[in-house]
Structure 1
């Protein structure tokens, strides 16, 4: 677990450093996640190291939203005139995220079905 956490934090740090050094418009943790994906694809045995720790972290992901919720409630008065715009942005982005997730799932399902058929035909 320590090795997996070290790897996760290292790729996140690398993403933050690269983003800052290169002046990229991508958040550092997102770039770090892309680096992790590249590392997992390059060294498949890393999956076995990272997967158990990732499952634990994902299982407790809701805890990470508590500080954000407290921050919103703590500054609710500042929302004022922007409440409608913020609410609309949240609603639209939620719907878009669901649609993109569903389309991605369908695309991957089609791709895997094609490769399964090609394997059976070969």
Structure 2
């Protein structure tokens, strides 16, 4: 399990380092997840030593949202002032995500049939 956590942390650290070094405005953990995905695609499967800690993190994922909830409470006055812009951006981004997901699903199904 330690080896799996070490790999996850190394992917995150590498992502952080790459984003700082390249100057790209992408969060390091997102870049780390992309690096992890590339590694898993190359490896061809998820090894057991990585599956166990990842499932443990997913099992307790709700605890990782506590700091975000506290941040919402800290900036409640800003949210109250900007509620319309926030609401519109949430609705629009959700709608765009649904459209892109449906399009990707149709594209992949069409490809699979051929």
> Smaller-chain TM-score range?
0.7 to 0.9
RMSD (Å) for aligned C-alpha atoms? 2.1
Whole-angstrom distance in 2 between the partners of 1:103 and 1:52: 33
Match of 1:78 in 2: 78
Q: Superposed, which structure 2 residues align to 1:44-63 within 5 Å?
A: 44=44, 47-49=46-48, 50-63=50-63
Per the alignment, residue 12 of structure 2 pairs with 12
Q: Distance in 2 between matches of 1:31 and 1:69?
A: 24
**Does 3-12 or 63-72 show the bigger shift?**
63-72
Other structure's SS at 1:24 match: coil
Q: Which has the higher contact order (CA 8 A, sep 6+)?
A: 2
Point out the structure with max Rg over C-alpha: 1
Cα distance per residue 1:70-110 (max 9 Å; x no partner): 21123211224311101111222223223333333343344
1:94, 1:54 → 2: CA distance? 27
CA distance in 2, matches of 1:112, 1:19: 35
Q: Give the gaps of 5 or more residues in structure 2.
A: none
Partner of 1:42: 42
| Residues 16-73 of structure 1, C-alpha deviations (whole Å, 9 max, x = no match) | 001101111222112111111121122235x123223222222322222222122112
Q: TM-score, normalised by structure 1?
A: 0.76
The residue number in structure 2 matching 1:95 is: 95
Distance 1:27 1:54, change over 3 A: same
What TM-score results when the alignment is normalised by the length of structure 2?
0.80
Alpha carbons of structure 1 residues 21 and 2: separation in structure 2 relative to 1, 3 Å:
same
